[in-house]
Structure 1
Amino acid sequence: MDTKWFLVTVGFLLVSQVTLCLGAAEDSRPIAKRSTGGSCPRGWDQLDNSCYFFSWHERKWEDARNHCGARNAHLVVINSQKEQDFLERKAESRRQWIGLRRDGGSWRWVNGSPTSFTYWGGGEPNNLVHFLIYPENCVEMRRDGRWNDEICHTPLRWICEKSA
């Protein structure tokens, strides 16, 4: 079916509505798949006193961190098994950047909080050096929910967090 004919025939659809339905803008999901509730912005999910944004695009760790910062948020800081379980379920078995990074040999959260809770996969972190060039200094949540140290330049989805 020709798109112009479709728009003329249906008539009540505006171009902006068609754009929203067919493909959301960069870094956002279609509105129908996002949750709204509590005191979180539209498109963010809430658990307790935090709001979470799950990206639909992939970026390097630093770019993901900047994306969160531009929304007055930070890459997610995971403090408990309850929060880990929530994020794992919402991540839908997709690899996601989290806000943990190696800094001078120590793992540090982007907000400066201590790493009192961890959820590393077996044998992780292993700082496997790819092609003897790139160390694994950033952390992803793998498809199984466990954490893995990864090359920071790897494009992955990410999770932002901010206070509700």
Structure 2
Amino acid sequence: MTSEITYAEVRFNKGPTASGIHPGSLAAPKQRTTPHKSKLDFPKLLLISLLILFLLLAITFFTTFIKKVWSCCPKNWKPFSSNCYLISTESKSWHESKHHCSAMEAHLLVINSKDEQDFIIQNLKNNFAYYVGLSDPEGQRHWQWVDETPYNANVTFWHAGEPSDRDERCVILNYRPQTPAAWGWNDIKCFQNQMSVCEMMKIYL
């Protein structure tokens, strides 16, 4: 009797190698990632610059708008340039007129230009005289404005022949129809009762 010998092929599956890669398999190549600059960097920078410029323009516009729109004068005061003016309805001495203006946180009129002079006389009555904030306290012809603005002899509106008397130490603005300028300055004694004009800065809200 012939015996048959059967051979069985047995294969052992080995575990993973120390490297963690099965035999026969190829290691996956590592990909290097290189940083790259974003294409949005320049547009972002431009956008930020434009936003900053827009913000600055908006602030400038807003400030100018507020200054123009919300500057005002108290009731019955007349606006001109950056100031407000009140024509008095009572006759007082120069010093009383000065205190009257001060009580309203204002001062007697200080005239710094022909434009201001022209604006004032448009609002005055020809049959009255009005104290302004110019005086000569010592009678030495050293004229002084009440707000300490330097007296500028090149910007004055004296009538012809005025000032005329060292004892007349206060100044009025009055009308002389026979003169070419009509309205002008005249020195008088400070105790005389006259109308006056008060001046103050505009109120900014």
User: Same fold per TM (> 0.5)?
Assistant: yes
Larger-gyration structure (1/2): 2
Give the corresponding residue for 2:134: 100
Taking structure 1 as the reference length, the TM-score comes to 0.71
Measure the CA separation in 2 of the matches of 1:90 and 1:55.
Answer: 11
The alpha carbon displacement at 1:103 in A equals 2.9
Taking structure 2 as the reference length, the TM-score comes to 0.57
The alpha carbon displacement at 1:54 in A equals 0.1
Is residue 2:191 matched to residue 1:157? Answer: no
Runs of 4+ in 1 over 3 A off after TM superposition: none
The alpha carbon displacement at 1:38 in A equals 5.3
What does the per-residue CA deviation read over 1:16-40, in whole Å, with 9 as the maximum and x for residues that have no partner? xxxxxxxxxxxxxxxxxxxxx9500
What does the per-residue CA deviation read over 1:58-87, in whole Å, with 9 as the maximum and x for residues that have no partner? 000000000000000000000000000011
Measure the CA separation in 2 of the matches of 1:138 and 1:162.
Answer: 20
| Number of residue pairs the alignment of both structures matches | 122
Local SS of the residue matching 1:92: coil
Give the corresponding residue for 2:25: none
Consecutive unaligned residues in structure 1, runs of 5 or more: 1-36, 129-134
Is residue 2:165 matched to residue 1:127? Answer: yes
For residue 151 of structure 2, what is the amino acid of its counterpart? Answer: T
Give the corresponding residue for 1:142: 174
Local SS of the residue matching 2:199: strand
Question: Are the counterparts in 2 of residues 73 and 162 from structure 1 also a CA contact under 8 Å?
Answer: yes
For residue 83 of structure 1, what is the amino acid of its counterpart? Answer: E
Is residue 2:107 matched to residue 1:48? Answer: no
Q: Determine what percentage of the aligned residue pairs are the same residue.
A: 34
The alpha carbon displacement at 1:146 in A equals 0.4
Consecutive unaligned residues in structure 2, runs of 5 or more: 1-69, 176-181
Q: CA RMSD in A?
A: 1.4
